[in-house]
């Protein structure tokens, strides 16, 4: 594990974070030789094999899905 003093970490924080992400190896941040923080890469994300069909079977269609939600007599735009 790489050890970095806090002053160097402060000056090169973004580069060190990119290095941790790229290599997957943690970095130990120290102040006067004492460890104060450890920067570790995030856990690997599990991506679904495909998003197509992911919610198949979760929903149920009830009623007519093509007809208007309200009666046409209630539409303000048609009364003009």
Burial of 71 (0-12, 13-18, 19+ CB in 10 A): exposed
Per-residue model confidence as pLDDT tens digits over 5-16: 999 999 999 999
- Whole-model pTM? 0.55
List the domains of the chain with CATH numbers: 1-42 (3.40.1620.10)
Burial track 23-49 (b if 16+ CB lie within 10 A, e otherwise): eeeebebeeeeeeeeebeeeeeeeeee
Per-residue model confidence as pLDDT tens digits over 13-71: 999 999 999 999 999 999 999 999 999 998 888 777 777 878 888 888 888 888 887 88
List of residues 6+ apart from 45 with CB closer than 8 A: none
């Amino acid at each position: 594990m790489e050890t970095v003093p806090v002053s160097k970490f402060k000056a090169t924080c973004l580069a060190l974070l990119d290095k941790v992400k790229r290599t997957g190896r943690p970095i130990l941040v120290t102040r006067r030789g004492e460890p104060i923080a450890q920067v570790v890469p995030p856990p690997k994300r599990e991506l679904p094999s495909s998003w197509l069909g992911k919610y198949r079977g979760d929903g149920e269609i009830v009623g007519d899905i093509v007809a208007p939600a309200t009666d046409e007599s209630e539409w303000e735009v048609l009364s003009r």
